[in-house]
């Protein structure tokens, strides 16, 4: 096992990594290894037992496990060497450009050498400490994914009186999940004046279960010495500052945090890849190649996706690029920069070659109705009835359009019409 050679190594066996493995195989890459830290494949999918997956990718409404099963079915007919239960710890770039990954699994410490790497490590959840929830540090404070794992992978019920922090889709779905087990979901608390999740989820996850949504409210403190006993909630003004005298106390025995996700970029950053502050993921060009040649990124480690479909799509894209690199090499380019304009909080890819079609993924900074996304320099615009920070935008621009770009950069602006 020591020092095995492959053309392509994929790190992460979530939807993005799986889709990339399948695609790379179909593109004729014959020696592929896939490293997955867990003992099972699928990433976060197996723990997401609710529907809402795959409407774009499979044109079907699937649960997380069903989506994963479909990918695993396809994977079976490939010759990809899958190493589950193996953690990729370190990536080293040799002076020859060859990549070497050190990894560990039960009974083995190993190194694999390869020509290209697709990094699809997903994301981690933000903790209470990152959003400054003060007070005591008792048991019963879980991130949404942690609670989901405990409930739906291991059959452990974390609490009976629940406060959910954050009204993104993840928070809303977890609120409903607890209600379905007979728990008393006291509230979903959201600091912004508008909910973070889809309207569909507000209705199906909260209203149908009579779960109150507290907007413009913030959980500031957790109380309880052994187990959680309650939370302190305070109203905030337009600038998100706490309003004096608006404090309230809610009794509960578990607090579920759905307060944001962060790409797991540590391995890439240590290997020297440039990280974008806005996405938290690596800076990539339109091959989804990081600033380390031959190392590609896809899925939630590239940019936090709302939809698994996009994560899988990025996986495929990275696979096509890696296949091209392995078979014929990627052309050297002087890339042009994609620049954040008005009300655009983040966008990928960061660099474009203008010789191929590009799918842009991004998010706006604040919600706006009736907007146009303008790519001024090439005279392209896309209309949207509503743009919300919680919903990723996705636009495809053809190589023909991009060829018109004369400047060194292209700026994206959101404009009200």
Q: Which residues pair with 218 in a beta bridge?
A: 234
Q: Can residue 244 be called a binding residue for other proteins (CB under 8 A)? A: no
**Mask: binding to other proteins, 28-47, rule CB under 8 A, as x and -?**
---------x----------
The nearest distance, CB 194 to ligand FAD, in angstroms, is: 20
Strands (E), 260-367: 261-263, 295-297, 336-340, 344-348, 351-352, 358-364
The pair phi, psi for residue 345, each rounded to 5°, is -85, -35
For residue 139, state whether it binds other proteins (rule: CB under 8 A).
yes
- CA angle 12–119–41, rounded 5-degree value: 10
Q: Does 245 bind other proteins (CB under 8 A)?
A: no
Name residues contacting ligand FAD, limited to 240-279 (CB under 6 A). Answer: 264, 267
Identify the helix (H) or strand (E) that includes residue 270: helix 266-271
Tokens of 213: 């949504």
Is residue 16 a contact residue for other proteins (CB under 8 A)?
A: no
String of contacts with ligand FAD for each residue 25-44, x by CB under 6 A:
----------xxxx----xx
DSSP code of 28? T
Query: What φ, ψ does residue 268 adopt, rounded to 5°?
Result: -65, -45
Whichever of 14 and 158 has its CB closer to ligand FAD, that residue is 14
Asked if 63 touches other proteins (CB under 8 A), the answer is no
Name, in order, each residue with C-beta under 8 angstroms of 93's C-beta and a sequence gap of 6 or more: 99, 271, 272, 292, 295
How many C-alpha atoms does 302 have within 13 Å on its Cβ side? 38
- Of ligand FAD, other proteins, none, which one sits near residue 245, judging by CB under 5 to 8 A according to partner kind? none
Instruction: Give the integer Cα–Cα distance in Å for 231 and 134.
Output: 10
Does position 45 interact with ligand FAD (CB under 6 A)? The reply is yes
- Residues 125-144, one symbol each (x = binds ligand FAD by CB under 6 A, - = not), give -------------------x
Q: What b/e sequence results for 130-159 when a residue is b if at least 16 CB atoms lie within 10 Å of its CB, and e otherwise?
A: eeebebeebebbbbbbbbbbebbeeeeebb
Q: Is residue 135 a contact point for other proteins (CB under 8 A)?
A: yes
**Contact with ligand FAD (CB under 6 A): which of 21, 173, 222, 283?**
173
Whether residue 17 contacts residue 299, with contact meaning beta carbons closer than 8 Å, is answered with: yes
Query: Is residue 164 involved in binding ligand FAD (CB under 6 A)?
Result: no
Taking the complex as a whole, how short is the minimal distance between the CB of residue 37 and ligand FAD, in angstroms?
Answer: 4
Would you count residue 308 as binding ligand FAD (CB under 6 A)? yes
Nearest alpha-carbon partner for 196 in 227, 175, 224, 222: 175
Site for ligand FAD in 176-205 (CB under 6 A): none
Query: Where does this chain touch other proteins (CB under 8 A) — which range of 150-158, 284-292, 319-327, 375-383?
Result: 150-158
The binder of other proteins chosen from 63, 74, 81, 149 (CB under 8 A): 149
Nearest CA among 128, 249, 254, 133 for reference residue 184: 254
Nearer to other proteins, 125 or 401 (CB): 125
Q: Which residue has the tokens 């392209």?
A: 380
Instruction: Examine residue 109 and tell whether it contacts other proteins (CB under 8 A).
Output: yes
Q: Which residues bind ligand FAD (CB under 6 A)?
A: 11-17, 35-38, 43-45, 48, 52-53, 87-88, 120-122, 144-145, 148, 169-170, 173, 264, 267, 299-300, 305, 307-309, 311
């Amino acid at each position: 096992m020591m020092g095995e050679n492959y053309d392509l190594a994929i790190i992460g066996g979530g939807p993005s990594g799986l889709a990339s493995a399948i695609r790379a195989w179909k593109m004729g890459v014959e020696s592929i290894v896939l490293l997955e830290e867990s003992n099972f494949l699928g990433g976060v999918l197996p723990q997401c037992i609710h529907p809402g997956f795959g409407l774009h990718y499979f044109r079907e409404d699937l649960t997380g496990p069903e989506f994963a099963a479909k990918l695993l079915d396809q994977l079976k007919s490939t010759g990809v060497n899958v190493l589950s239960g193996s953690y990729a710890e370190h990536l080293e770039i040799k002076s020859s450009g060859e990549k070497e990954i050190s990894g560990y699994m039960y009974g083995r410490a190993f190194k694999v050498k390869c020509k290209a790497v697709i990094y699809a490590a997903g994301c981690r959840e933000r903790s209470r400490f990152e959003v400054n929830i003060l007070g005591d540090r008792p048991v019963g404070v879980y991130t949404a994914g942690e609670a989901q794992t405990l409930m739906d992978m291991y059959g452990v019920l974390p609490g009976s009186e629940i406060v959910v922090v954050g009204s993104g889709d993840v928070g809303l779905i977890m609120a409903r999940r607890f209600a379905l087990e007979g728990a008393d979901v006291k509230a979903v608390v959201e600091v912004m004046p508008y909910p973070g999740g889809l309207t569909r989820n507000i209705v199906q996850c909260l209203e149908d279960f009579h779960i109150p949504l507290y907007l413009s409210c913030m959980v500031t403190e957790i109380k309880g010495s052994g187990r959680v006993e309650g939370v302190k909630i305070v109203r905030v003004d337009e600038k998100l500052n706490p309003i004096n005298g608006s404090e309230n106390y809610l009794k509960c025995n578990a607090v579920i945090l759905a307060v944001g996700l962060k790409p797991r970029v540590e391995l890439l950053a240590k290997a020297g890849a440039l990280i974008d502050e806005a996405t938290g993921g690596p800076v990539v060009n339109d091959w989804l190649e990081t600033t380390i040649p031959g190392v590609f990124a896809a899925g939630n480690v590239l940019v936090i996706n709302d939809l698994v479909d996009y994560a899988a799509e990025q996986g495929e894209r990275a696979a096509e690029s890696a296949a091209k690199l392995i078979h014929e090499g990627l052309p050297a380019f002087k890339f042009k920069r994609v620049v954040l304009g008005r009300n655009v909080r983040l966008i990928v890819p960061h660099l474009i070659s203008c010789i191929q079609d590009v799918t842009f993924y991004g998010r706006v900074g604040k919600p706006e109705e009736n907007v146009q996304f303008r790519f001024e320099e090439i005279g392209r615009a896309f209309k949207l009835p509503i743009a919300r920070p919680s919903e990723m935008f996705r636009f495809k621009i053809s190589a023909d359009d991009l060829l018109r770009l004369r400047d060194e950069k292209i700026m994206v602006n959101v404009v009200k019409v």
